[in-house]
Structure 1
Amino acid sequence: ISHSYLTIIFRFLPPCSTNHVWMHSINISGPGHNEFDSVLCHFNPRQFERGGQLVINDKQEGTWGQAINLPLSQVPLIFGQTAVSLIVQINGEGFDIFIEGKHCARLEHRKELPSKPCSLYLQFPSCDDYQKPENWLVYKTWWGNREIMHGKDLSSIAGVNAHNADHPRKLFISNLSKISKDRDVDIRRAELERAFRKYGGARGVTCIIPKHSTFAFVEMESERMADRALLEMGSKFKMNRARWSRHEALQEKRAKAEAEKKGLVKESSAW
């Protein structure tokens, strides 16, 4: 990537159907993506998910990051149109997303871009991670260099100044079997609580088990215990540190401030 404001423009038509839930996404990857197992920027409008969602994310070595979820009601119409314009502009801060000329979101860089000129790779997937079909009608694609498009005030842009540091205590467990029933969720929670019990202190670990997924989150007692779990349980589970959402960071900051006011001592992990 040799210029600060490399710009990619798409003119496309996503399918709109009331009797079939099509998936549709665009992936942008860098060198060594290993058949798009690593993705720098993932653009995925979902017509029927929670009233309509625009999902923007990254993927590193098969593991999805912390998604930016934006209600479709907050962006220009995508579904039901004859054509939609999408612009992705890459600058020093991240990937700026413009739909029909409106700056809708920014995915801040989660992996350092190469310092030397290199190729980017564009993919319109034919299916998602679960082999569900994806379908696009793409009229035009253009790439080149353009002047910076975003304005000076970015306070209302989704994803700007997002807190994207690794969580000191929470681990992301992936490559699990897919579950869909409440009973299976309870069984998986019990299994993970039992497997990681010694890293949770007196109260044990806290597990988040999303339904219809192949991953889970397990929060340990402390950063030191999370380090031990990564070292000792790495042969049994595919796992890495979970990303810390901005909301979690604010909650932790408030909790630490309250603890300091009360004179309580709490382990700090570079909050």
Structure 2
Amino acid sequence: MSSMKRGKTEVQGKGIRFDKSVVMEEGGGGESPPFTVSGGGESPPFTVEGGVEGGESPPFTVGGADGGESPPFTADAMDIEGGESPPYTAGMGGESAAAPPAPSGTDTITPTVSTSTTMAAIPKKKKTAKRKPPPPPLGAPLVKPPPPVDKNALLFPSDSGDLILTYDWDSLKAAEPLTLPLNDYSPDGILKATSSNTLAIEFTTPGNSSRFCLSIAGDNKDENKIFEHTLLHVNPRQFWKGGKMLLNDCQGYNTWGKAVTADLEMFPVVFGVKRAIMVIQVREEGFDLFLQGRENFGEGGGRESRMVKGYGDGLMHCYRFEHRARLPAEGDKLWLQFLTHADDKKGENQNWTVHRMWWGKQTLFADVHPDGSVPGVNLQQQLHPHKLFISGLDKGDGSAGHLERQQAIMERDFQKYGDKQEGVVVSLRNGGSYALVTLADKEMTDKALVEMRGKYERMARADKTQREILEDRERREKEEAALAATSW
């Protein structure tokens, strides 16, 4: 068997480059026919070493680019004995003549040629920059772009109510507290939901702010004493006891009621948020507090059921603070006040900026809770109507004689507020550090809270005991059953 040898050559003609690989059988030493490119003259002879043994290589031509005819080209990879090879032609602009049949009975291997043409790379299209719209012609009216979508438009509607603040109020820069009237108030309208009942506040509180606060009070003939009796005091404290929301009322000058607190982590984050919203709704039962900020809670705990759908972006019902005093009478109005940083007597970093406020009529959001749960409900019923809690007392030496003297002093101080028959009941606890004082009724207790504040600074209404709560529940159930029996 003869061996095979692969040769490689390059041919150039009329600006066209060809890369030809030829496979042939060694032997003989015959010459190959010339290789021509038609059009533009003859190419120099193309010789392949080792022709077909005992014969000549068939002609190989490529048609020119000028439309001339190409001589025959035969490429028979597998010559079948006694048969003809199928014709193969390669033309470049003209007709190709059929290849002559290979002679029968000869062991002929004709060269196999693969042709590859290297073409120039197609240039990529350049990306064209977006064309800016041409400027309007001189004198044409300028078209303003549409305003951004306000997700909280329903909380600050322009068709009802009033924007009572349209500029930024900064507690650090303000020289005095911000005090605003809440007009269009009616206690009967609150009961029937026909008058203004909703306050919406959009604000920013820096992440390093310790607290901020606001107060709502009723009318007062002396404008300088309006906020001595506060219906609602809202005071979020970021760094106090791990973060607390504090709600309270004020029953006279510096006479605070019993504060209620809740963990801030249960509510949306309002400290360090670009824009947060607080909504307060006045209703027959009390004040409903809502917050919108950054989410800070997972699933469970009934929190999802307190989200108000359709208003703003994640408004959550946080608390209901039941009324501890009567709302102002018909013809009076409510008042709103924000304190400045300088007004914080404890020197806390009270820092926040109020951007806008709206006061008007809205649907009562808390009525849409799927499970009917309202946080803070019945909280007021847990406070004892005529029992005081007084702390910060002098423990002395802790002896029995000291406790007897302390009890006698307190009975004498509160004697005029006691019941005519039972008098005043003073019960000292924890070695005399605090005391429970039972008075005649709610009216006398309210009076004592105001008049005795100078001597007993840490004084507030006491909580009911569990036994007292159960007794009150049984009494209400009996009264309701008796009323139902007489209504038939």
| Correspondence 1:81 to 2:273 | yes
Deviates more, 1:6-15 or 1:153-162: 153-162
| Correspondence 1:115 to 2:361 | no
| Correspondence 1:106 to 2:320 | yes
Pairs within 5 Å for 1:136-215: 136-151=352-367, 153=369, 156-164=373-381, 167=384, 170-172=387-389, 186-187=395-396, 192-193=406-407, 195-196=409-410, 205-207=427-429
Question: Hey, what does 1:29 align to over in structure 2?
Answer: 217
Over 3 Å counting, the alpha-carbon distance change for 1:54 and 1:193 in structure 2 is same
User: 1:188 Cα deviation (Å)?
Assistant: 11
Structure 1 unmatched ranges of 5 or more: 210-215, 258-271
User: 1:136 Cα deviation (Å)?
Assistant: 1.6
SS at match of 2:201: strand
Query: Could you tell me whether the CA contact under 8 Å between 2:426 and 2:436 is conserved in 1?
Result: no
Scaled by the length of structure 2, the TM-score of the pair is 0.40
Find the aligned partners of 1:164 and 1:92 in 2 and give their Cα distance.
Answer: 15
Deviates more, 1:33-42 or 1:125-134: 125-134
Find the aligned partners of 1:41 and 1:97 in 2 and give their Cα distance.
Answer: 10
Q: Structure 2 counterpart of 1:205, which letter?
A: S
Over 3 Å counting, the alpha-carbon distance change for 1:187 and 1:225 in structure 2 is farther
| Correspondence 1:237 to 2:459 | no
Query: Could you tell me whether the CA contact under 8 Å between 1:42 and 1:56 is conserved in 2?
Result: yes
SS at match of 1:121: strand
SS at match of 1:151: helix
Find the aligned partners of 2:397 and 2:269 in 1 and give their Cα distance.
Answer: 39
Query: Could you tell me whether the CA contact under 8 Å between 2:236 and 2:245 is conserved in 1?
Result: yes
SS at match of 1:114: coil
* 1:242-263 deviation per Cα after TM superposition (whole angstroms, max 9, x unaligned): 4343xx3434345999xxxxxx
SS at match of 2:265: helix
Q: Structure 1 counterpart of 2:330, which letter?
A: K
Q: 1:69 aligns with which of 250, 257, 261?
A: 261
Structure 2 unmatched ranges of 5 or more: 1-184, 293-314, 416-422, 474-488
Find the aligned partners of 1:130 and 1:156 in 2 and give their Cα distance.
Answer: 36
Find the aligned partners of 1:235 and 1:106 in 2 and give their Cα distance.
Answer: 28
Query: Could you tell me whether the CA contact under 8 Å between 1:167 and 1:242 is conserved in 2?
Result: no
- What do you get for the CA RMSD once the two structures are aligned? 4.1
User: 1:145 Cα deviation (Å)?
Assistant: 1.0
The structure whose RCO (Cα within 8 Å, separation 6+) is larger is: 1
Q: 1:41 aligns with which of 223, 229, 232?
A: 232
Q: 1:90 aligns with which of 268, 282, 292?
A: 282
Q: Structure 2 counterpart of 1:118, which letter?
A: D
Find the aligned partners of 1:82 and 1:58 in 2 and give their Cα distance.
Answer: 29
- Between the two proteins, the alignment pairs up a number of residues equal to 233
Find the aligned partners of 1:186 and 1:92 in 2 and give their Cα distance.
Answer: 43
Find the aligned partners of 1:77 and 1:11 in 2 and give their Cα distance.
Answer: 14
Q: Percent identity?
A: 29
Question: Hey, what does 1:219 align to over in structure 2?
Answer: 436
Find the aligned partners of 2:219 and 2:389 in 1 and give their Cα distance.
Answer: 25
User: 1:122 Cα deviation (Å)?
Assistant: 1.3
Find the aligned partners of 2:382 and 2:211 in 1 and give their Cα distance.
Answer: 29
Find the aligned partners of 1:256 and 1:143 in 2 and give their Cα distance.
Answer: 38
Find the aligned partners of 2:266 and 2:324 in 1 and give their Cα distance.
Answer: 24
* 1:144-188 deviation per Cα after TM superposition (whole angstroms, max 9, x unaligned): 1112111255764332122347636632559xxxx8xxxx86459
SS at match of 2:241: helix
Q: Which has the larger radius of gyration?
A: 2
* 1:90-114 deviation per Cα after TM superposition (whole angstroms, max 9, x unaligned): 1111111010111110111111112
Query: Could you tell me whether the CA contact under 8 Å between 1:76 and 1:102 is conserved in 2?
Result: yes
User: 1:235 Cα deviation (Å)?
Assistant: 10
Find the aligned partners of 2:210 and 2:335 in 1 and give their Cα distance.
Answer: 23
Query: Could you tell me whether the CA contact under 8 Å between 2:411 and 2:426 is conserved in 1?
Result: yes
